[in-house]
Amino acid sequence: MRRVVITGMGVFASTGKDVESFFCNLCHAKSGIGRIRQFDPSSLSVQIAAEVAGYNPEEYFPSKRLDLLDRFSQFSLIAASQTMKSSGLEVREEECGRFGAVIGSGMGGAQGLDHGYHELYAKQATRLHPFTIPKIMHSAPVSQVCMEYGAQGPSFSTATACSSAGHAIGEAFHLVKFGLADMMLAGGADSPITYGMMRSWESVRVLATGNGGDPSRACRPFSADREGMVIGEGAALLLLEEIEHARRRGADIWAEIVGFGMTSDAGHITQPTVAGPARAIRIALDEAGVNPEEVDYINAHGTGTRLNDPIETQVVKEVFRDHARRLCISSTKSMHGHVMGATGAVELAATVLAVRRGVIPPTANYTEPDPECDLDVVPNEARSQPVNIAISNSFAFGGLNAVLLVRKAN
């Protein structure tokens, strides 16, 4: 069976606009969460989010091209540019059919959709911009990335809420592993911080408000005083490549993907189960041929909600048994927020860097132990230690689970 390695990455998120600043800020527990700047949030009960601060699209794209790009597609293209540059890949014409892309998004073109509805209902517009549909469709980022880099192989988008990027990367992994492609750009993008989206999320009652305190400390996964998750935005893409193809061109191998598990809880639309995520982890372990005792680190789904964190703790105990207490588990959502459909890619990037550099990013803002979340969550400070095998969990609304397992390059 063909082996699949990661030979490039790009990240554009609230905690960093490139891979280096992203991981540095995570390891220093520096949060990207603050008061919303994209619109006036004064009328909202939740006025905080993890935005990409100081982003000016005209610094990255000519104004004419911006007519075709919703914010989540812009983020995808920026992350793709970083990924291709870091990989050193130059795709020959005859290889284009073996080069594809899979990019996930949970919310699609939320910015364009919100703007369009405002034009229709508030301003009584009789027609919208002719590129509205090509901008807001979930597949817009993957189409834009394929056109940018001449990727003519298997390419599509995934939309499985918070697991979208995890599924995208897992499917891209299998396309390379089973010989349908040699190179795949894979990841996710979302930019859901709009007035309409924030109003909708308020109604779900799972968001931290950050009221009366420092917004950067609002997301506290696994801490007894946690109050909810924080919406984020951003994109992350990885270049997945068949190992011999990578070796022939002398590529720098960041890590190897060795397992992918996906399951459905088939239970409740918003409440996760233990059985579904546990099966996904076991499937990833089985595909990788890895024993539970060999895993060193888990980048948790870790949303910071009252319900998610104890259930994920139970999941880890169910799968890893006695080894669960020896595992390092952290939630980087405490800093970059919940990046919706992109979160699995952003978190896999953090996981790969933990493996590559032997530094585990912490769960920031941890203040008080919770008896129901009693594993080692690497509180507040990064930990330097070898990481040979790591897992990244993504568990979505609707019970759609995606688990990725990576191994140190050798």
pLDDT tens column, 319-351: 999 999 999 999 999 999 999 999 999 999 999
Reported for 51-54, long-range contacts at CB under 8 A and 24+ positions apart, including other chains, are: 51/14, 51/193, 51/232, 51/233, 52/12, 52/13, 52/14, 52/17, 52/233, 52/234, 53/14
Selection from 345, 359, 348 nearest residue 387 by Cα = 359
Determine how β-strand 48-49 pairs with β-strand 155-158. unpaired
> Which domains are delineated in the chain?
4-248 (3.40.47.10), 259-408 (3.40.47.10)
Selection from 350, 348, 25 nearest residue 188 by Cα = 348
Cα torsion angle, 59, 252, 150, 169, sign: negative
Instruction: With cut-offs at 50, 70 and 90, classify the pLDDT of residue 1.
Output: confident
Average pLDDT, the chain: 97
How far is the C-alpha of 173 from the C-alpha of 406, rounded, in Å? 11
Query: Does 212 score more than 80 pLDDT?
Result: no
When pLDDT is averaged across residues 270-298 and rounded to a whole number, the result is 98
pLDDT tens digits along 125-161: 999 999 999 999 999 999 999 999 999 999 999 999 9
How far is the C-alpha of 150 from the C-alpha of 94, rounded, in Å? 11
pLDDT tens digits along 53-79: 999 999 999 999 999 999 999 999 999
Strand partners, 8: 239
In 179-265, DSSP assigns E strands to: 183-190, 234-242, 255-264
Which residues form the catalytic set?
Answer: 162, 301, 338
pLDDT tens digits along 216-275: 999 999 999 999 999 999 999 999 999 999 999 999 999 999 999 999 999 999 999 999
In degrees to the nearest 10, what's the CA dihedral of 355, 356, 358, 363? -60
Selection from 392, 408, 397 nearest residue 166 by Cα = 392
pLDDT tens digits along 310-325: 999 999 999 999 999 9
pLDDT attached to residue 157: 98
Selection from 276, 297, 293 nearest residue 397 by Cα = 276
Question: How many residues are given for the chain?
Answer: 410
300: tokens are 């948790």
pLDDT attached to residue 211: 83
pLDDT attached to residue 410: 86
How far is the C-alpha of 131 from the C-alpha of 126, rounded, in Å? 15
Instruction: With cut-offs at 50, 70 and 90, classify the pLDDT of residue 180.
Output: very high
Residue type (1 letter), 70 = D
What does the angle CA 401 – CA 83 – CA 141 come to, to the nearest 5 degrees?
60
First-residue to last-residue Cα distance in the chain: 17
Instruction: With cut-offs at 50, 70 and 90, classify the pLDDT of residue 28.
Output: very high
When pLDDT is averaged across residues 166-172 and rounded to a whole number, the result is 98
Query: Does 292 score more than 90 pLDDT?
Result: yes
pLDDT attached to residue 58: 97
pLDDT attached to residue 312: 98
Residue type (1 letter), 128 = L
Q: Say which residues have a Cβ less than 8 Å from residue 95's Cβ, sequence separation at least 6.
A: 182, 183
The pTM assigned to this predicted structure is: 0.98
3-state class of 328 per DSSP? strand
